[in-house]
Chains A and B, each alone.
Chain A
Amino acid sequence: EPEVTQTPSHQVTQMGQEVILRCVPISNHLYFYWYRQILGQKVEFLVSFYNNEISEKSEIFDDQFSVERPDGSNFTLKIRSTKLEDSAMYFCASMYVRERFYGYTFGSGTRLTVV
């Protein structure tokens, strides 16, 4: 079964450092998403990406965040200057739409720890 692959699985970084989280979506999917989940809390939407541009972003997705699809396969989330409160699980998801059916798949996540 096709999977969304995220790397690394765990990243520890110092406050103020830049991090790049990587995702390889399912190959025939056209819509891409980043979500985050602070420990013990609900999953929160960050950003959606379609046709090489941001479709929607939440209030969490401020100027410190950016997304890119640099080579047509990878989908990256960059946090320019990490803060302690950025510590969370970050999930990538991809989706295709066919008539009335969604195929929406999440990756296993990257656990980001900011120290």
Chain B
Amino acid sequence: QQQVKQSPQSLIVQKGGISIINCAYENTAFDYFPWYQQFPGKGPALLIAIRPDVSEKKEGRFTISFNKSAKQFSLHIMDSQPGDSATYFCAASIRSGSTLGRLYFGRGTQLTVWP
């Protein structure tokens, strides 16, 4: 069972444009939703995260929008730059019990920003 579904698989955006990546989850017990950025040969690096009691969180050019009723969340990258070209993973987690900290990852989105 795929707990977290991510789309699109790949995304090409022009410099200065808006990149939007979407995720949907199944398990209503998830209470932590991070986004990770991964460059080739590196580990995933936390970009931004949100809890379900908040509908939006913004950090610089990166914004998470969260829709609890639809069980969906998305990452918006404003003013996309070539340096943003990377693979982006959404994830979900439950912050209690025996599964504490286990991250369920989406399949990833390969973002390419053209200069």
Chain A residues packing against B (C-beta within 8 Å): 4, 31, 33, 35, 41-45, 48, 50, 55-56, 91, 93, 95, 97, 100, 102, 104-109
Contacts and interface: CB of A to CB of B under 8 A. Distances in A.
A56 B98 contact: yes
A109 B42 contact: yes
Contacts, number: 63
B21 to A, nearest CB: 14
Interface in B79-115: 89, 93, 95, 98-108
B51 interface: yes
Contacts of A43: 44, 89, 103, 105
A42 B32 contact: no
B60 interface: no
Contact of A33 (B45, B101, B107): B101
A42 B106 contact: yes
A91 to B, nearest CB: 5
Contacts of A50: 100
Given A33-B102, A48-B102, 6 more contacts: A42-B108, A43-B89, A48-B99, A102-B93, A102-B95, A106-B45
A107 B36 CA distance: 13
13 contacts: A33-B102, A35-B103, A43-B105, A45-B102, A48-B99, A48-B101, A48-B102, A50-B100, A97-B100, A100-B95, A102-B34, A104-B101, A108-B42
Contacts of A108: 41-43
A91 B100 contact: no
B43 A91 contact: yes
